[in-house]
Structure 1
Amino acid sequence: MGFSWTTVDGRKALIENENIVLQRIDFLRKYKEEKERGTVSKSWQDKSLQSAKRRTVGDGKRFIVVNAGGRTGFVPGAGLLFVSGQKTADYHGEMNGETFLMWFEDMLVHLEEPSVIIMDNASYHSTQVEKTPTTNWTKAALIAWLEKNGIKHENNLLKVELLRIAKQNKPRIRYEVDELARYYGHEILRLPPYHCHYNAIELVWAQCKHHYNSNVGRAKRFDNDAVAAIWKEALDASTPERWARCVDHVEKLIQADWEREVHIDSGTIPPLIIHLGEDSSSEDSDSEEFEVTTQQVDGDSEVLAVPLDDLPGCSY
């Protein structure tokens, strides 16, 4: 096929996607600002749609669980459990923006204090108030959107030119759940991608599912009432004390990550350079103390050493 195994010229550095870094810093900054401001007296997390999966053979029912909670425990009256219409392992298709929005508004009325709601970017969390142009739009739809928003354009432009104008005048994305939360006096703080560890309810859900799986075997039947009863036990086991420990753990992670970002920004950490196609005897390294070296072993690259003991602010 024309491929050959050869040494890679030049040096490559493994770096994190800049957009992900910016989203993480934005999240950390906003979280700290809300914490220091003191105007939000309760911070709680929401990770919707967790499956209560039974381990025994039966009729294949799956149950969808929706809830929210914070340092003082689950939000009273916010729990929802219903039978999934799907028998696949993917429960996400069971929930859409309309269904989630109905549950979300009902949950908001049970919040007694202004709250910061931590939420991921699942599609049913991200229904836009007004859809913005994409490459999938037809030319007629683009023209209609430009005219609706009073954006000037020539009538003889091609679709790609109209799309460029639309992107140049693209408004800030507004989500329905964000607007609804503000209406009731709350704010939504969205997690950056790949950072579910900033969500305390992930820890709580793991404990709830462990309790459910450990006790579901004693159920004599698997009808809706029996499943709901065992799941209620799992939720009741997640006491305010347990919630508080989970929230404290997450807040320590957030504080540590913020301090790391500040430390990196100070410029005191040397770059971490990955040498590809070179052995550990290379003498022209730009980063002697922090290099990762590799060698070829049976056609694969094997890491020889990662001398990072003196790297401040990091743990492995």
Structure 2
Amino acid sequence: MDDLDRAVVHALHVDGRVPFSRIGAVLGVSTQTVARRYRRLRAEAGLRVVGLAEPARAGRAQWMVRLTASPHTSQDVAHALARRADTSWVKLASGGTEILAIIDTPAESATSHPLLLRDIPRTASITAVSAHYVLHTYLGGPTAWRGRAHALTEEQRRQLEPPAGVGRDVAESDAALLAALSRDGRAVLADLATATGWSPATVARRLADLRAGGALFFDVEIDPALFGATTQALLWMAVTPARLDAVAVALAGHDELAFVAATTGPTNLVAHALCADPAGLHAYLTHRLGPIEGIRTLETAPVLRTLKAAGPLGP
């Protein structure tokens, strides 16, 4: 990736649906050049923009589930989880025997989800399960990893920001629209109209309403190694309750982290770290995380592979 590639990715980080013409005008290149770079990054670097509903605004709850499986079955179990419509961020960690998945559930039935209570316990190859209810997300979603967001100036970023406004919450009638955007956040209005049965004008209006209030956001999926982050780890922390909010807020400001959330369970704070190499992770843990008061224990689980990110798997 060169500087222009990184600038295009940063522009999409600011607004996943920003027109190529606006990116080109801000960067001083043609619309065709931006479109060509975007197509190449999709084909060669796995770049993908996905539209996602903010869970609380859509009446959804999330669980982080940690599974330990036998070495010869862990990949099969992880792939099976990745194929489910209610999972995201499926990762192999800790030498390949641990699987992490985020499970999306209706908020009103968060404690009776079939995957949590039936499907997982009946899988004989799984030797351990722990489920952590996500209580509050401090970093994630529309404020994802900032390691890929250093290519634009502040003025360029301001020019690319989507317009503000008064928004609306997600409704049941938005299901088809959200499903289409989760597959391709940059789908054109005509395609979204076909998917929903609405007119393009209605789609545009509904998109604007959902985005304005933060009920809908756009995530950019791309291999972080292309930005120099070759070492990833999940950090499971037990934090003194009185310090939990202060610690989480401090961590949310760290550029090395892509996700910070308070959860239930024996650990009450989890973070996802992306560093240049093992030495960089060690430096982060000892020099940035170590001095923060209130962290009683820390478990570091290296991430070997991400099988599924925020959006659904392709056909």
Q: TM-score range by the shorter chain?
A: under 0.3
> Looking at both structures, which has the greater relative contact order when contacts are Cα pairs under 8 Å and sequence separation is at least 6?
2
Larger-Rg structure: 1
TM-score normalized by structure 1? 0.25
TM-score normalized by structure 2? 0.25
Q: Which has the higher strand share?
A: 2
